[in-house]
Amino acid sequence: MIGQQQGVSPRCRLTVLGPPGLSCGGAELDLGAPQQQAVLMLLLARSGSFVRVGELVDGLWGYRAPATGEAVIRTYIFRIRRVFSAHGLASAIRSQAGGLFRVDLPVRRLRARLDRRSTVAVAKSALGDRAVGAAPAGFVRP
């Protein structure tokens, strides 16, 4: 980013109650479609830890995941990276072989700790009850 020191990320403000929002350096970032926002929220819930793409698929669709679920997740992550890069956050999303992703944002302070239940609630607020759900007991993803 022009005028920004290399390796220094802008301060970010993240909102997770209601529609997700992220502003960095005074600019509001376009987080994309509701499902893409939900993927970001699922990654943020495990901020600093690697998350398997299969966990993101399960978190987004539960047992109703489409056959193309992993490809869709990878597309959403590509788009989120592109938005982050345009705002000086190129290294905020990291990946490892085997379909692992991690997000680290320079958020100054988290006022509330996210757990899986609150993350699903945030994702449901973005998507409605139609697309986010937990798999039924005993369900094993193929």
Joined together, the tokens standing for residue 20 give 């997700």
Distance from C-alpha of 14 to C-alpha of 134, rounded to nearest angstrom = 25
25-53 pLDDT tens trace? 788 889 999 999 999 989 988 888 999 99
Class of domain 12-127: mainly alpha
| Euclidean distance between the first and the last CA atom of the chain, given in angstroms as a whole number | 42
Asked whether the beta carbons of 50 and 100 are under 8 A apart, the reply is: yes
65-102 pLDDT tens trace? 999 999 999 999 999 999 988 888 888 899 999 999 99
| pLDDT score, position 56 | 96
CA distances from 60 to 13, 37, 65, 133, 142 (A): 24, 10, 8, 7, 16
pTM score of the predicted model: 0.70
Domains in the chain: boundaries: 12-127
